[in-house]
């Protein structure tokens, strides 16, 4: 990456805004590892459902816990769930997509049918199955969301591999006797990294949103260490009495997704 | 033969089982219902205090007071009263179906389909007189054949298993004449009347699973899964007729939206509302407060380490503060319990046991050290995720236990998994649920602690307890029976079978356009008593 | 013809895979449907007898085969929970979820296409920039949260509808539609945002291509080029997306039906999963699978009509 390109990237308003948002959220998460205003699980009967104040900058929840500390912790949980989901979804999806796309034939036919089937299988049901068997928790959530994300990555990668497979340079490499493994991972995949990168950023957003949805349906992360989605869904019944409790985690989720989206948009425009 | 009118049986003999097949922990809804694990019965009505703020301000003069919409947390699970076990279904069916006898709000058994009965001196033959002129909802007369049919259906006549376990005790049901039926038992049982609240349905109805017909104050109109269950007043009802003509039981999938739906006017009444929701309601509503009649506890698996050591269990009892839990979870409402008995069983409830373990962190630490855990230990509380109050309670407990160096992780699981892993499989360390009584007898709550009882999911094992319970079962004298039951409770408390917490408060919200809500010691909603406010 | 046959056979294979997955999934799920029906206090003997009667003691593959044969003969079985035929249970709920999905789809198409074209036409104008930012924000709001906000703002504050006051289509069609209006907007919101973004991007890409420039240099005015060539090409991926979105409406309605208390298919699906009511779950998932695969199929055909060059057999 040369200097002028980098400068151009940084001048891009999307990257700029997205970077600032993500930077703030990351800062909050990293600081949270070392210091939080309060223990996020510390309850206080005398300070339930307080509004925004200097003492509690995002107020307190129904157990008198400091919402800001919980948001700091919850952002960490949410981010880890999103990262885990993408590692599984994009990792497995890319492998399946490139193999089926590259070899074609029966492998392709059978795998794509399974992928279709998975696509038609509601992810909530998948999550319920996994959660019922292994219990509620974030690793289970990551696995079920990850599996649910595999089909879309597999499809995207397969399509791209199909497109690249017949390009001249691949043909050349093949004539030179490059092994299939090297071919897929060293020649084809680098060529589609752009598409993959933007899919991954979109995937991050979808993972954050899907986690919130599953939390709402009661299969999200477990208390007392709640993810942002879980906090939001727990908080909704206090919409009347303490809107700040609902809005704070809500706004942080929106910002997190926006940050990813702006970065993705910026990178796309920069190319 | 001693002859007595039903209804005079007196509230002391409250051995009522409204619903014989009581599912003590009947799983209610799958969604995140904010209510607590079921409630079944109780001996007294709890405290019917009415908390309400001034002024009804009935602005909506155009409102149709002939229609009441009641929110219910889960679907009606089948229209056949003999095959529907959900506690939520039975609370609705109370308005539609009646048995030979029927419980009232004081826990007495009153005449319903039968107008009177006699019990033979050996307590083996129960003879019933059919109420004169009583009709089914379809207009046909109730006959003695219908009674025979209904009871035999529950006995499982053609070699199949009885639908209700206790009905296995029935030897035969005999029609004596046009207005008399006798129930003959295999063995003497002076409490069998409590089992005879089972719905009487017409023998001529070939499809009880799709066309429910009963004798109650309301008759069935329609059922739409996940939407509503509609009934209308039965004008030929034999007793005091209902006030409100049309009643819609509306399924509220989203318990978090209860306040919105009440305020918005889509429901007029909702039972088992949480204290936080109550706090958000405007003065358009009247709030009735009672108790759920259950024992909420941190149930410990006495068979696994470290809970096999009584000192560890006692340490947890010293560390957990029930009052603090009530402050967090239910705004201070609720009644502390110190053993496996809730206050509504006033005859058996021992308030002094609440003081066996008064919160004392130092003592708890000392006990842990004695037990060989000076630095505490780590364990997992498994909670059914659909019961918000139990999940919240677990969170408070987890926080409280930090003070004695014990780390309690919380594992939420789906209700079905809870049933198979925790309740049936007993593969857990600790769990928070509420346990209710399936009959109005102390044994309903205490029998599960007998070491070889099939429902002893806490794996409690005490020779003293087993002996005391056996004595109580054998006793014929009521005072003696009570004494042994109290001994059982004391043992549970001293041995710290589990960390007993509270009997949860119950709040029923009713729009001030209506009035007359009555608490029952049973899991029912008696809509016939609700009437428009002036 | 060959294409249709091939597609049809692969559709059937997919459906079989889906139904088998559901069956196996339920087999590993804890929870006994018989206990679920009879209650926790039921005697073990009664449970055993009921399991036998329900055929639950047979090996899973035997049960699957039995279900499979009946299913293709049009017999979906009887719901364990409601004791009514699954077909009638589902049929009574289809109009609700279908109306919800179609309304949402209608909103998506009617709003997103003109807006997408407008933003592309005035690229980097104030309208474009505003809409792009608004789009991003909309896409960043979790669906249930926007549902709650809509209920709060339009239900409680403006009183456009009664929260939780669903009216059945059998009672009052107008009331039914009025109630579904806001939930369908909640479902449509993110889809609109995504479609606008996609259409805008495609239009800008396409109009930068050689053929569009050529057409433009020949003196065609901007509108003409846009509408005649560019729009057609730019629409292809959008149609794919809309097709997927339509198929996704059922899944999307799961959360929204919960938030707005709408007794549709998704609610029946969720409650049947937790009630371990296999026949209902199987039938609904098969229905969803058929819709998803069917829409993909239709999308392929629309492709052909719009652009005969596409080699579908690829």
Backbone angles phi, psi at B506, to 5 degrees: -120, 130
pLDDT at B437 over 80: no
pLDDT at A222 over 80: no
* Tokens encoding C296: 């993909």
Name the more confident of C214 and C133: C133
Mean pLDDT to the nearest integer, B405-416:
86
Q: Distance from B154 to chain A by nearest Cα, in Å?
A: 34
Of B58, B226, B49, B207, the closest CA to residue B138 belongs to B207
What is the percent of chain B with per-residue pLDDT over 70, rounded to a whole number?
A: 86
Q: Distance from C302 to chain B by nearest Cα, in Å?
A: 37
Mutate to test the interface with A, among C144, C189, C201 (most CBs of A within 10 A): C144
Residues belonging to chain B: 534
Instruction: Identify the chains in contact with A, defined as 3+ C-beta pairs within 8 A.
Output: B, C
Of C312, C277, C280, C313, the closest CA to residue C88 belongs to C280
CA–CA dist B428, B409 (Å, integer): 12
Residues in C closer than 8 angstroms to B27, CB to CB, are 36, 40
The confidence score (pLDDT) of residue B208 equals 87
CB B414 within 8 Å of CB C274: yes
CA–CA dist B421, B433 (Å, integer): 14
Q: Is B20 on the interface with C (CB under 8 A)?
A: no
Residues 325-384 of B with CB under 8 A from C: none
CA–CA dist B456, B301 (Å, integer): 10
Q: Is A137 on the interface with B (CB under 8 A)?
A: yes
The confidence score (pLDDT) of residue A118 equals 74
* Tens digits of residue pLDDT in C274-305: 788 888 988 888 888 787 777 777 776 776 66
Mean pLDDT to the nearest integer, C190-207:
85
Mean pLDDT to the nearest integer, C102-131:
88
pLDDT at B61 over 60: no
Structural domains of chain A sorted by starting position, each given as residue range(s) with its CATH number in brackets: 10-34+61-270 (1.10.3720.10)
Q: Is C141 on the interface with A (CB under 8 A)?
A: yes
Superfamily of domain B12-21+293-505: Dipeptide-binding Protein; Domain 3 (3.10.105.10)
Residues in A closer than 8 angstroms to B277, CB to CB, are 237
Q: Distance from C234 to chain A by nearest Cα, in Å?
A: 18
Q: Strand, helix or coil at B127? A: strand
CB B359 within 8 Å of CB B351: no
A241–B279: do the CB atoms touch at under 8 Å?
yes
pLDDT at B59 over 50: no
* Tens digits of residue pLDDT in C245-254: 776 776 678 8
The confidence score (pLDDT) of residue B100 equals 92
Distances (CA, A) of B281 to A179, A211, B49, B260, B262: 70, 31, 17, 9, 8
* Tokens encoding A241: 């009495």
C267–B226: do the CB atoms touch at under 8 Å?
yes
Residues belonging to chain C: 314
Name the more confident of C20 and B437: C20
Whether the complex's predicted ipTM surpasses the cut of 0.95: no
Name the more confident of A87 and C153: A87
* Confidence band for B517, pLDDT divided at 50, 70 and 90: very high
Residue B258: HSE in the Cβ half-sphere, 13 Å Cα cutoff: 30
Q: Strand, helix or coil at B242? A: coil
CATH class of this structure's domain B36-58+74-216: alpha beta
Q: Distance from A113 to chain C by nearest Cα, in Å?
A: 5
* Confidence band for A5, pLDDT divided at 50, 70 and 90: low
* Tokens encoding A162: 């199909």
B22–C163: do the CB atoms touch at under 8 Å?
no
Facing residue for C251 by CB, picked from A122, A262, A265: A122
pLDDT at B281 over 80: yes
Q: Which bin fits C164, alpha (ψ -120 to 50), beta or left (φ > 0)?
A: left
pLDDT at C80 over 60: yes
Q: Is B308 on the interface with C (CB under 8 A)?
A: no
Collect all residues with Cβ–Cβ distance below 8 Å to C204 and sequence separation of at least 6: C120, C123
pTM value is 0.81
Worst-scoring range by mean pLDDT, B361-365, B415-419, C223-227?
C223-227
* Confidence band for B318, pLDDT divided at 50, 70 and 90: very high
pLDDT at B53 over 70: no
CB B22 within 8 Å of CB B439: yes
CB B337 within 8 Å of CB B294: no
Facing residue for C142 by CB, picked from A114, A122, A212: A212
Residues 161-220 of B with CB under 8 A from C: 161-163, 165, 209-210
Torsion of the alpha carbons at C285, C291, C297 and C302, rounded to the nearest 10: -160
The confidence score (pLDDT) of residue B325 equals 93
Backbone angles phi, psi at B289, to 5 degrees: -110, 130
* Confidence band for B19, pLDDT divided at 50, 70 and 90: very low
Mean pLDDT to the nearest integer, B239-260:
87
C165–B85: do the CB atoms touch at under 8 Å?
no
CA–CA dist B464, A19 (Å, integer): 69
* Tens digits of residue pLDDT in B188-210: 776 688 788 889 999 998 888 88
Q: Domain extents for chain B?
A: 12-21+293-505, 36-58+74-216
pLDDT at C115 over 60: yes
Strand partners, C263: none
CA–CA dist A8, C41 (Å, integer): 71
Q: What is the CA radius of gyration of chain C?
A: 24
B328–A224: do the CB atoms touch at under 8 Å?
no
Name the more confident of A267 and B486: B486
Of B474, B434, B470, B436, the closest CA to residue B451 belongs to B470
Task: For tokens 């009505």, name the residue.
Answer: B45
The confidence score (pLDDT) of residue B24 equals 33
Of A256, A241, A217, the closest CA to residue A77 belongs to A256
CB A140 within 8 Å of CB A131: yes
Task: For tokens 């938030």, name the residue.
Answer: C259
Of A234, A79, A237, A93, the closest CA to residue A152 belongs to A93
Mean pLDDT to the nearest integer, B90-94:
89
CA–CA dist B305, B316 (Å, integer): 14
Instruction: Identify the chains in contact with B, defined as 3+ C-beta pairs within 8 A.
Output: A, C
CA–CA dist B258, B271 (Å, integer): 10
* Tens digits of residue pLDDT in C123-175: 888 888 889 888 888 888 888 888 888 888 888 788 888 888 888 888 888 88
Mean predicted lDDT score pLDDT of chain C: 81
The confidence score (pLDDT) of residue B39 equals 34
Residues in C closer than 8 angstroms to B209, CB to CB, are 83
CA–CA dist B28, B255 (Å, integer): 13
* Confidence band for B20, pLDDT divided at 50, 70 and 90: very low
Residues in C closer than 8 angstroms to B411, CB to CB, are none
Facing residue for B417 by CB, picked from C30, C37, C38: C30
Q: Strand, helix or coil at B519? A: coil
Nearest CA in chain B to A225: B410
CB B469 within 8 Å of CB B340: no
Mean pLDDT to the nearest integer, B415-441:
83
Residues in B closer than 8 angstroms to C150, CB to CB, are none
Q: Is B427 on the interface with C (CB under 8 A)?
A: no
Residues in A closer than 8 angstroms to C29, CB to CB, are 128-129, 132-133
Cα angle value A142/A143/A146 (rounded, 5°): 80
* Tens digits of residue pLDDT in C3-34: 677 777 777 777 888 788 778 877 777 778 88
Worst-scoring range by mean pLDDT, A241-250, B104-113, C70-79?
B104-113
Q: Is C41 on the interface with B (CB under 8 A)?
A: yes
Q: Strand, helix or coil at B198? A: coil
CA–CA dist C229, B51 (Å, integer): 71
């Amino acid at each position: 990456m040369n200097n002028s390109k980098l400068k151009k990237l940084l001048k891009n308003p999307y990257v700029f805004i997205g970077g600032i948002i993500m930077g703030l959220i990351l800062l909050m998460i990293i600081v949270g590892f070392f210091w939080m205003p309060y223990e996020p699980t510390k309850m206080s009967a005398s300070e339930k459902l307080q509004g925004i104040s200097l003492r509690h900058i995002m107020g307190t929840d129904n157990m008198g816990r400091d919402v800001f500390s919980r948001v700091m912790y919850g952002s960490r949980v949410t981010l880890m769930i999103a990262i885990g989901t993408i590692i599984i979804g994009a990792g497995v999806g890319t492998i399946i997509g490139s193999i089926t796309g590259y070899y074609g034939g029966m492998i392709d036919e059978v795998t794509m049918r399974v992928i279709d089937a998975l696509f038609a299988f509601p992810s909530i049901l998948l999550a319920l199955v996994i959660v019922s068997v292994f219990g509620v928790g974030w690793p289970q959530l990551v696995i079920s969301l990850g599996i649910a994300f595999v089909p879309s990555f597999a499809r995207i990668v397969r399509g791209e591999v199909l497109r690249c497979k017949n390009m001249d340079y691949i043909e050349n490499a093949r004539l030179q006797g490059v092994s299939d493994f090297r071919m897929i991972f060293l020649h084809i995949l680098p060529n589609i990294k752009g598409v993959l990168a933007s899919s991954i950023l979109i995937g991050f957003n979808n993972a954050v949103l899907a986690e919130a949805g599953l939390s709402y349906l009661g299969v999200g992360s477990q208390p007392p260490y709640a993810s942002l989605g879980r906090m939001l869904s727990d908080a909704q019944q206090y919409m009347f009495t303490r809107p700040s409790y609902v809005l704070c985690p809500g706004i942080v989720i929106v910002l997190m997704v926006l940050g990813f989206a702006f970065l993705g948009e910026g990178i796309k425009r920069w190319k | 033969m001693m002859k007595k009118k039903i209804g005079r049986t007196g509230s002391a003999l409250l051995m009522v089982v409204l619903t014989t097949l009581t599912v003590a922990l009947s799983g209610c809804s799958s969604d995140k219902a904010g209510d607590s694990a079921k409630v079944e019965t109780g001996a007294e009505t709890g405290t019917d205090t009415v908390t309400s703020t001034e002024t009804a301000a009935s602005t909506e003069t155009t409102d149709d007071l002939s229609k009441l919409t009641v929110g219910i947390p889960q679907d009606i699970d089948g229209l056949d009263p003999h095959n529907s076990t959900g506690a939520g279904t039975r609370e609705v069916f109370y308005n539609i179906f009646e048995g030979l006898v029927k419980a009232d709000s004081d826990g007495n058994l009153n005449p319903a389909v039968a107008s009177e009965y006699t019990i033979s001196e050996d307590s083996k033959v129960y003879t019933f007189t059919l109420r004169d002129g009583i009709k089914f909802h379809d207009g046909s007369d109730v006959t003695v054949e219908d009674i025979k049919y209904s009871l035999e259906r529950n006995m499982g006549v053609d070699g199949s298993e009885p639908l209700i376990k206790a009905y296995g005790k029935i030897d035969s049901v005999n029609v004596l004449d046009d207005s008399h039926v006798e129930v003959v038992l295999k063995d003497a049982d002076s409490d069998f009347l409590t089992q005879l609240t089972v719905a009487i349905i017409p023998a001529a109805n070939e499809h009880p699973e799709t066309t429910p017909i009963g004798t109650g104050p309301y008759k069935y109109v329609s059922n739409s899964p996940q939407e509503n269950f509609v009934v209308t007043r039965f004008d030929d009802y034999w007793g005091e007729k209902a006030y409100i003509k049309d009643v819609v039981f509306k399924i509220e999938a989203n318990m978090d939206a209860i306040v919105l739906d009440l305020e918005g006017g889509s429901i007029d009444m909702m039972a088992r509302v949480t204290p936080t929701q109550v706090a958000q309601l405007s003065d358009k509503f009247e709030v009735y407060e009672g108790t759920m009649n259950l024992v909420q506890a941190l149930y410990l698996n006495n068979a696994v380490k470290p809970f096999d050591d009584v000192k560890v269990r006692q340490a947890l009892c010293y560390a957990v503060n029930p009052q603090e839990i009530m402050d967090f979870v239910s705004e201070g409402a609720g009644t502390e319990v110190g053993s496996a008995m809730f206050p509504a069983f006033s005859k058996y409830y021992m308030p002094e046991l609440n003081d066996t373990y008064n919160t004392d962190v130092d003592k708890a630490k000392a006990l842990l050290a004695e037990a060989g855990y000076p630095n505490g230990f780590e364990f997992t509380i498994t909670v059914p995720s659909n019961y918000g109050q139990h999940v919240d309670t677990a969170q408070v407990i987890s926080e409280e236990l930090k003070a004695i160096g014990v780390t309690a992780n919380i594992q939420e699981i789906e209700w079905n998994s809870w049933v198979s892993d925790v309740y049936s499989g007993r593969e857990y360390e600790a769990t928070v649920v509420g346990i209710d009584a399936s009959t109005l007898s102390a044994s309903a709550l205490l029998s599960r602690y007998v070491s070889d009882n099939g429902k002893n999911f806490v794996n409690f094992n005490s020779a003293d307890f087993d002996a005391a319970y056996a004595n109580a079962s054998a006793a014929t004298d009521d005072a003696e029976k009570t004494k042994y039951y109290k001994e059982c409770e004391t043992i549970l408390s001293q041995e710290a079978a589990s960390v007993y917490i509270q009997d949860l408060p119950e709040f029923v919200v009713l729009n001030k356009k209506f009035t007359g809500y009555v608490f029952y010691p049973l899991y029912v909603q008696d809509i016939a008593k609700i009437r428009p406010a002036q | 013809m060959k294409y249709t046959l091939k597609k049809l056979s692969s559709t059937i294979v997919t459906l079989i895979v889906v139904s088998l997955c559901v069956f196996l999934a339920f087999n590993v799920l804890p929870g006994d449907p018989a206990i679920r029906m009879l209650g926790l206090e039921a005697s073990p003997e009664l449970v055993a007898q009921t399991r036998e009667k329900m055929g639950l003691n047979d090996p899973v593959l035997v049960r699957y085969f039995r279900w499979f044969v009946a299913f293709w003969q049009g017999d979906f079985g009887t719901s364990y929970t409601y004791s009514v035929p699954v077909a009638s249970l589902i049929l009574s709920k289809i109009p609700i979820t279908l109306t919800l999905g179609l309304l949402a789809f209608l909103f998506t198409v009617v709003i997103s296409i003109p807006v997408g074209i407008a933003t592309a036409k005035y690229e980097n104008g104030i309208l474009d920039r505003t809409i792009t930012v608004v789009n991003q924000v909309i896409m960043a709001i979790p669906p249930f949260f926007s549902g709650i906000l809509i209920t709060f703002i339009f239900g409680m504050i403006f009183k456009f509808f009664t929260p939780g006051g669903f009216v059945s289509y059998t009672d009052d069609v107008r009331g039914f539609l009025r109630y579904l209006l806001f939930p369908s907007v909640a479902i449509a919101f993110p889809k609109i945002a995504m479609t606008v973004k996609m259409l805008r991007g495609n239009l800008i890409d396409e109009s930068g291509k050689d053929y569009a420039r050529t057409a433009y240099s020949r003196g065609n005015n901007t509108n003409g080029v846009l509408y005649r060539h560019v729009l057609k090409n730019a629409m292809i991926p959008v149609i794919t997306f809309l097709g997927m979105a339509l198929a996704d409406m059922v899944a999307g309605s799961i959360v929204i039906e919960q938030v707005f208390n709408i007794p549709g298919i998704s609610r029946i699906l969720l409650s049947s999963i937790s009630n371990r009511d296999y026949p209902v779950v199987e039938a609904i998932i098969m229905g969803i699978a058929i819709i998803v695969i069917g829409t993909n199929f239709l999308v392929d055909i629309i492709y052909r009509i719009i652009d005969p060059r596409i080699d579908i057999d690829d």
